[in-house]
Each structure stands twice: as C-alpha cells, then as structure tokens.
A and B are shown apart, each in its own frame.
Chain A
Amino acid sequence: MILSKIFKNTLLVLTACLILSACATKKEIATDIKGSMQGDVYTGTDTVEYLAEGVPDRVFFATNESILTTASRETLRAQAAWMRKNSSINVVLEGHADERGTREYNLALGERRANAAKDYLMTYGISSDRITVLSYGKERPVDSGSNPLSWSKNRRSVTVKAN
C-alpha cells in the first residue's frame, strides 16, 4: 500500500518534471530563436533576408552535407510559390561552405548545396532556365566568427534575384 503510494507520488513528480522541461525547451526555442542550431544546422533568422513576405532567401546545411532539412524544404516551397507568382523573375542560387574545409573541396560542396536547392525548386514547378547556380565555396562567409554557430550560418544556399 505504502509502496504503491510512494511509487504514485514519484510518478507524479516525474511527470511534472517532464512537462516542465518540455515547456522550458519549447519556450527556449520560441524566445531565443536567434542563434540557435539543431544538430549543427542553423535554425535562427539572424542572417536571413526575405525575397517577399514570408519567403526567406536562404537555407542551411549540416557540416559536409547537402541534404535539405524539413525547414529548408519549407523555405524552398515558399520560394517556388513566389517564383510561380512572379514568372518574370530569375534567380541565382549561391552555394557556400564554412571555413573548416579545403578551398577546392568547398567550391564543389557549395555547388552541390546550391544544386540541392535547385532540384527542389524544380520539383515544385520552376523551370531550370530561371535558375543559375554559383558556388562561392568558403570565399564569402556572412559571419566571420571561428565557432560552430558562425560556421552554421555560413553553410548555406542563398536565393538571389537575378533581374
């Protein structure tokens, strides 16, 4: 009897903790959205510019990766929708890498990242004629810091209006 009571109380406390910690995490994301990362992919908005309202101009990547995250795909769908509405606009996809890699490999990696974004835009109905890919490798960082957060902001593909 007593044992089960203790057990029950413990369980209650545990549940409360879980709820609290869940709240804390959620709150953190909501308030500290600037400068946050998921894994090592940048999820903040510090450097992000907008092509139109609700259409962010860039997507971010994990170290050495060119895989699009769920958030990146959402951004690119918004870009595709915006491009479909503005059919005269062409874009350049500028692919970038962070500074922690050899220059030549990073040029190739930037090209691969921009192409990942291009392929996604194409599956959402944007003609390849409207998209140019340009890799800068690690030559044009947005953040000059030497830390994981800075590097995460620099691993990106930026959609830039070409006309």
Chain B
Amino acid sequence: MMKKIITLFLIIIPINSYALIEVDITRGNLDPLPVAVSPLSIDEKSRKSFEKVLKKKNIGVEISSIVENNLRTSGLFNPLSKKAFLQAPDIANLKPRFEDWSLIKAQALITGKVNYVDDKLRVEFRLWDVLAAKEMMALAFTTVPSNWRRVGHIISDKVYERLTGEKGYFDTRIIYVAEEGPKTQRVKKLAIMDQDGLNNKFLTLGNELVLTPRFNPTSQMVTYLSYFKNLPRVYLLDIETGTQEVVGDFPGMTFAPRFSPDGKKIIMSFAKDGKSDIYTMDLENRIVERITNHPSIDTSPSYSPDGKFITFNSDRSGYQQIYIMNNDGSDVKRISFGNGLYGTPVWSPRGDLIAFTKLHKGKFYIGVMRTDGKGERLLTENYYQEAPSWSPNGRVLIFYRETKTNDKGEGFTAKLWSIDLTGYNERQIKTPTDASDPSWSSLLSN
C-alpha cells in the first residue's frame, strides 16, 4: 500500500563541536531564538532536473521552507523573514558574512546546497553560530528525490538537537482517524500524515468503523480497533504492505490496543459480561496473558518505556481513575487523587510523566502528573478533548478536540491539536477532514 521507506545515508561527519548557542527548553519559551534559514542554494542544472522529477520549481527553497516551518511550530525558534536577508544562499553557504546576519538579529543561521547527482538528491547543510562567527554543524545526505520532504525534517531534527541538546521529533508521522459526515453517522477512516500535517493518505476506505490507531515504536506497524463485520476487534496493520490481520479475536470485544515498548506485544482490553480486563498478546507466538482480573472496567493500558510497569484506567473505586501496576499485573496502585475523573493515561517516552485526560465540572483537561501521581499540571482546558499522545522526545503532546453543537445539533467538529509539555505553544494541526485519535510515531531516522 505504501512505498518502502528508503534509507538515508549520512555522509559528512560533524567537524567541530563548540558549546555555543543553547536553547533552554525546560520552561515555556517566551523568547524564541531568532534564526535565519537561508534557502538551500541550487545550480541551474540541478534545479531543472528536480523540477522535472518532483514538479517543484525550486527544491532548495522548498526544503528550507520545511525547516523554517518546523522550527517555528516548535515554539522555540523564531525564523526571520527572508526579505531581510542580505547575503545570497550560495555565498552564505561557503562562508557567511556574520555581520550581515547579526544585523538582522539572527543568532543562528542555516545554509545549504542541493545537487542532482546520479538521479539522487544530495543535500548538505550547515548550522552557524552568528555571534561567535563559527560553524556548529555540517552534514550531508544522499537519497532518492521523492524523499525530499524527509530531508527537510531530518535537517530540522539535527538543528533542534544541536541547539537544545535533545532529540527532535520532526522526521515522524502521525496516524489518526479521519472523520466525515453527520455526528450520528460518522464515517471514519485510518489516515496517516507527516508530523507537519502534509502528505496525508487514507489507509482504509471507511466501510467499517475504525478507532484508536497506535504506532509500533519499533516498526511501521499499527494496531487499531475495527468494527469489521460488526465485531469490534483489535487489528494489526502493516502500513508498508497494507496487510491487515485480526489479533484480538476473543469471544467478545477487544479494544484500547497499544504496543509494548519493544514492539513485540500488544496490550489491550477485553470486554465480556460487563467487565473489561487487560490482556497482552505476544505477536511472535500468539500467547495471550491475562493481566488484570477485576469486576470493574480496566482499560486504556500503556507501558512504561522500560516495559516494567503499566499505567491504566479503572473504575474500581467507583469512578474512572488512573492506576499503575507491575507488568505482570501485581501491585496495583491508584495514583490519581485529584477532583474529577481521570482517563487515557500514557507514559512519557522519558519515563518520568504520565499524560492524561481529566473531566472536572463539565470541562475536559489534558494534563501530566508524575508516575507517583504527584505534581499534577493541567496544560489545557476545553469543552471536549482527550487522548494525548507523546512526541518521541517527550516534549509535545498531540490530542483531539471536539466542539459543542448548537441548539439544532449543528456545528460539530473534531480537530487535532498539539501543546508543549510546558503548557505553551498550543496549535491546531490542519487536516483535510475532521480528525481524532492521533498517535505519534517514533523518529523514522536516528
């Protein structure tokens, strides 16, 4: 169904490593770093070759726009207007005149060059510290031309990592549920897109209801719930080949699937006789293990990144609350004790926080708490929002938000939103249709 992802080769090794500019990402960044993203320079012959293959007038400009957009949406950087740039892209990439760039208040500068070499796309880029007048990083990639978008995302990740000291999250994808039609008869399809909302593709046709897709952290597999033949069951989908198979074929509904951190197991709920319990299935030998056994509803399980613990949602206390337990189901502890109901716990990829949905006095919140339940912080409040999913570096949460309808029941929308862990930089991710249930992939390249 989808083309195999072509491997990218990193060729140039970083030349020097100075500890120069640094971006502090521990707090909300109200003062984003001014950065100049110079268009990647391109010779006329290469430009024409790419125009023919990719139908893009200037691929150098296109790639640098991706970088610029990524840096801006992170909220940590302020890409400066290209109109103010004094130096031409090709000259800047050879040796920037730092005075020109500091004049427009740029602290960091990104330059680069694109070439068409043996039907391949070759990109080199450099990151410069303007004030110190030094090169911070220089890298080059060679790949098939159709991968040009990913090159832009990889450059963004390298810049982010060099300047913040943490891994980026730009060369990633989001799988989600695309929604259309009236609220009472929604048609839902699995869809996938790049993290920046581009490259949207539908993965199912909408013939049956599909919900809650989640990425395997180690491969291009997805697990989700499908109502195929009116039997709600957990499925597995290989997004490279399009192969689908049922994995939760139990005598009842299986739902709320998620992969273990090593990608070898699926953890999910199985509902029977009014009780929902948590089970795991080993994908290699198909051995099923029961993890919880309680007359309550136990659902929305999520592993800790080391795989040793599971956080989940249970109403065993009377109402929905968040619990943690060992991965064999022992030592169950409730961790949410604030006012209201708590659902959809998801363990941060860094291991220190659990993101959740909270319902209190008719409002829905996305928040985070430590794994012992302390230090609760609510990041955003709205009429309806839920299901946070972490960026692979644990800095950003993506979730979906629904609007209230009017007296006639009109005006319903469902959209994807993201917010920084600090509670700043809340923004909508534009999708071609309404959207819900987002799940963030791991970094496609490392």
Contacts and interface: CB of A to CB of B under 8 A. Distances in A.
B405 A105 contact: no
A144 B183 contact: yes
B357 A115 contact: no
B297 A112 contact: yes
Given A107-B255, A144-B412, A102 B273 contact: no
Nearest to A148: B362
Interface in A108-154: 108-109, 111-112, 115-116, 119, 133-135, 139-146, 150
A112 to B, nearest CB: 4
B297 A108 contact: yes
B273 A108 contact: no
Given A64-B319, A105-B297, A107-B255, A140 B274 contact: no
Contact of B405 (A64, A119, A146): A146
A100 interface: yes
Given A111-B271, A134-B230, A144-B184, A104 B359 contact: no
Contacts of B225: 107
A133 B251 CA distance: 11
B437 interface: yes
B299 interface: yes
Nearest to A141: B184
Contacts of B344: 102, 104
A134 B255 CA distance: 12
B359 A135 contact: no
Interface in B161-189: 182-186
Given A103-B386, A139-B209, A144 B409 contact: yes
Contact of B253 (A101, A111, A142, A146): A111
Contacts of B386: 102-103
Contacts of A146: 383, 404-405, 409
Given A111-B253, A134-B232, A103 B183 contact: no
B384 A108 contact: no
Nearest to B356: A102
Nearest to B183: A144
Nearest to A113: B274
A135 B402 contact: no
Given A99-B384, A102-B386, A112 B343 contact: no
Contacts of B410: 144
B409 A103 contact: no
Contact of B357 (A66, A102, A108, A133): A102
B342 to A, nearest CB: 9
A139 B404 contact: no
A47 to B, nearest CB: 11
B253 A99 contact: no
A142 B183 CA distance: 9
B320 A105 contact: yes
B300 A104 contact: yes
Interface centre among B274, B297, B362 (most CB of A within 10 A): B274
B8 to A, nearest CB: 36
Interface string A63-85: 01010000000000000000000
A66 B276 CA distance: 14
A88 to B, nearest CB: 21
A52 B252 CA distance: 29
A84 to B, nearest CB: 23
Contacts of A64: 315, 319
Given A103-B212, A104-B212, A105-B300, A139 B405 contact: no
B149 to A, nearest CB: 31
A139 B186 contact: yes
A142 B320 contact: no
Contacts of A135: 232, 253, 271
A103 B273 contact: no
Nearest to B437: A103
B387 interface: yes
A85 to B, nearest CB: 27
29 contacts: A99-B384, A102-B313, A102-B386, A103-B211, A103-B387, A104-B256, A104-B299, A104-B344, A105-B299, A105-B320, A107-B225, A107-B256, A107-B271, A108-B271, A108-B297, A109-B297, A111-B253, A111-B271, A115-B273, A134-B230, A135-B232, A139-B211, A140-B185, A141-B183, A144-B405, A144-B409, A144-B410, A144-B412, A145-B405
Given A101-B343, A134-B230, 19 more contacts: A99-B384, A99-B402, A102-B300, A102-B313, A102-B386, A103-B437, A104-B300, A104-B313, A104-B343, A107-B225, A111-B271, A112-B274, A115-B274, A134-B253, A141-B184, A142-B184, A144-B183, A145-B409, A146-B409
